[in-house]
Amino acid sequence: MGTHSFNPSKSYAEELDRNDPLGRFRQEFYLPEGRIYLDGNSLGLLSRRAERSLQQVIAAWRDLGIDGWTEGEQPWFDLSERLGAMMAPLVGADPEEVIVTGSTTVNLHQMVATFYRPRGKRTKILADVLNFPSDIYALQSQLRLHGLDPEEHLVRVPSRDGNTLDEEEIIAAMTDEVALILLPSVLYRSGQLLDIPRLARAARVRGIPIGFDLCHSIGAIPHALSEWEVDFAVWCTYKYLNSGPGGTAGLFVNRKHFGRLPGLAGWFGSDKAKQFDMEHRFTPARTAGAYQIGTPNLLSTAPLIGSLEMFAEAGIERIREKSLRLTRYLMDWAEKELSKYGFALGNPTEDRRRGGHVALIHEEAVRICKALKDEGVIPDFRAPDVIRLAPVALYTSFADVWEAVQRLRRIMEEKSYERYEKKRGVVA
């Protein structure tokens, strides 16, 4: 855990908050009254700016009708491209390489349909056993569309401990039978941050297109996708980017692939100058915009306008710095105080290998999560034994972490979790 000292006093947490350069952003959010929200890696909180930008789009619909596409403060026709440009610094890309569109899984289908080209013995897709199920479902279905059996053609790198992956083993699986690679940037259960530049370099040397799912890293961790020569990436925006439930997602396509015909074509991927020519010959945009499919969901996109303004002001480097300090502070509590109650850390402890959340492992995780909710702490449970706690840099304070730990200690001392059924809810 390093050589730094651990100070368990509340006054120390309050001092950290007083010296926090991002502390002012906390006032931008609607914080649940009387509760400590540590589930921002599942659904971020609503900000006043996101609410305002949503109301602006609704007002444009009310006042302008069809003319909202080309008039008003935020014309809709090219909003996805403008938001892509605002989002590009968060992933380390040129503005033209990013587009706000679709959902994570729809965008993943688009990317696989575009980049997966099985030929000869190169027919396999490489993934991992710890990836989010929706990504695996998409890969399996894409293989079936090619008439291939996922049991044979989907290779999943195993995990030695059930929580983390070894980059050496991933690279060893990049054989001459692999036609495409998809990996998470941060593992959703344990919070492990993979070495993206190393993996991208290994794939490039072997001539294999590689993409990443950034759902658990965008908005919490800086990226350099263009510099690392990643081929593509997909992500949601409702976690650390706080766009709201089901908020419109995003994707990245490296500019070296511009001009490539999208695997799934739709009219919003058209060259903007030709989209309304209504020709039956598709002329794709020469940017990531080509990979849009249908008309953008404006009401699910609008909150990003206000949210991304805050990210531009805060800066992703400062966000990452605070996130690491928050998770380090929480891990110190886990090591010094919570371990005696049977808790173990499931996430890597090194800064370079850790995402934006802490994974506490406990055999009673499901019941402890229920008890925490009743004590006013909002955690996240992942079967079978992981409590995910995400102190989010823009709205979580060090005092929040301090208080959450005190409530957790009380639950464990009193064993109040034993009152609850050992069964997760429908939505965990």
Q: What is the reported pLDDT for 60?
A: 98
Across the chain, mean pLDDT equals 97
Task: Output the CATH code of domain 52-313.
Answer: 3.40.640.10
Q: What percent of the chain has pLDDT over 70?
A: 98
Q: Tell me the per-residue pLDDT of 174-197, one tens digit each, with 9 for 90 and over.
A: 999 999 999 999 999 999 999 999
Tell me if 365 sits within 8 A of 387, measured CB to CB: yes
Q: Tell me the per-residue pLDDT of 253-296, one tens digit each, with 9 for 90 and over.
A: 999 999 999 999 999 999 999 999 999 999 999 999 999 999 99
pLDDT exceeds 60 at position 120: yes
- Any idea which residue has 């390489």 for tokens? 97
pLDDT exceeds 80 at position 28: yes
Cβ-proximal residues to 61 (8 Å cutoff; 6+ apart), any chain: 68, 298
pLDDT band at 3 (very low <50, low <70, confident <90, very high): low
Mutual orientation of helices 303-314 and 48-64 as an angle, nearest 10°? 140
Q: What is the reported pLDDT for 422?
A: 87
Question: Mean pLDDT across the stretch 229-235?
Answer: 98
Structure tokens at 201: 């370099």
Give me the torsion for CA of 44, 394, 50, 305, rounded to 10°. Answer: -110
pLDDT exceeds 70 at position 299: yes
Q: Give the residue ranges of the annotated binding site for pyridoxal 5'-phosphate.
A: 104-105, 132-135, 213, 216, 238, 267, 295
Q: Alpha-carbon distance 8 to 15, whole Å?
A: 12
Q: Tell me the per-residue pLDDT of 154-170, one tens digit each, with 9 for 90 and over.
A: 999 999 999 999 999 99
pLDDT band at 426 (very low <50, low <70, confident <90, very high): low
Rg (CA), the chain: 22
Measuring CA to CA, which residue among 5, 223, 195 is closest to residue 97?
223
Phi/psi of residue 266, nearest 5 degrees = -155, 160
pLDDT band at 424 (very low <50, low <70, confident <90, very high): confident
pLDDT band at 423 (very low <50, low <70, confident <90, very high): confident
Q: Alpha-carbon distance 288 to 137, whole Å?
A: 24
**H-run or E-run covering 413:** helix 398-414
Task: Tell me the β-bridge partners of 377.
Answer: 36
Across 1-5, 132-136, 141-145, least confident range: 1-5
Domains 10-47+315-419 and 52-313 share a fold: no
Q: Which residues are known catalytic residues?
A: 132, 213, 238-239, 388
Question: Mean pLDDT across the stretch 129-155?
Answer: 98
Question: What is the topology classification, in CATH, of domain 10-47+315-419?
Answer: Aspartate Aminotransferase, domain 1 (3.90.1150)
In this structure, is the dihedral angle defined by the CA atoms of residues 158, 180, 97 and 281, taken in order, positive or negative?
negative
SS (H, E, C) 124-152: EEEEECCCCHHHHHHHHHHHHHCCCCHHH
Measuring CA to CA, which residue among 133, 132, 180, 138 is closest to residue 155?
180
Question: Mean pLDDT across the stretch 91-101?
Answer: 98
Q: Alpha-carbon distance 301 to 54, whole Å?
A: 8
pTM of structure = 0.96
Question: Mean pLDDT across the stretch 207-230?
Answer: 98
> Domain limits of the chain?
10-47+315-419, 52-313
Q: What is the reported pLDDT for 1?
A: 41
**H-run or E-run covering 4:** none
